[in-house]
Structure 1
């Protein structure tokens, strides 16, 4: 997916007023996501993202342990100035749902297998119960 298209979709889904807000959310969320993915799955996901975001995913922020979804959202809110947990949930969902679209269903399922339970909702791909 091209840079402009990716950011346009994030901006639309996140209802951001500016492209800069969408880019800030994308950079933060993908940096945190990269810390949770390993190996071929992370590399394949990176190959489906615009180059700048691929590099962010491949050079992630450090995580001591995989964060459950609620802690992932809290970590996102800590990295985005002025964010609350509520706005960070919005940011995470906007970025991860566009990322899932870029990845396709098969790769998104493999990404979700590397993450703690509950991320399916953040990716906009709720699993049937």
Structure 2
């Protein structure tokens, strides 16, 4: 079942220590658009089904990635898209959004997501070791 919009944003706002919901919303949209470009098939659709509708649409209609980004390049890309972000603040943004998305996905789906991504994304999702 999909997480409600306000509950999802509230969790991101709390984890990211954002002052406004708008900041949490911008981070969520940017990070999920980038993530959607890296996921394919059923895994992307399953994650979308567990996200609020507005974010599910962003995840399902991403820009296409020309190549999978390493976790470091993913954070750099997020920094380029988030107004006023540095690589350090973008890493915080990515971690806040992806850890909440992981909570919404559940452990089994998160494990399958991580199998589609380059090594190192487990840390961005708040799972310090690769789930086998």
Q: Matched residues in 1 for 2:50 and 2:78: separation?
A: 22
Partner residue of 2:95? 93
The Cα of 1:61 is off from its aligned counterpart by 2.1
The total of aligned residue pairs comes to 129
Partner residue of 2:67? 65
Q: Matched residues in 1 for 2:124 and 2:67: separation?
A: 19
Deviates more, 1:54-63 or 1:14-23: 54-63
Structure 2, gaps ≥5 residues long: none
Q: Report whether the alignment pairs 1:5 with 2:7.
A: yes
TM-score with structure 1 length normalisation? Answer: 0.98
Moved over 4 A (4+): none
Partner residue of 2:39? 37
After superposition, the C-alpha distances for 1:57-91 in whole angstroms (9 at most, x for unaligned) are 00012211000000000000000111000000000
Q: CA RMSD in A?
A: 1.1
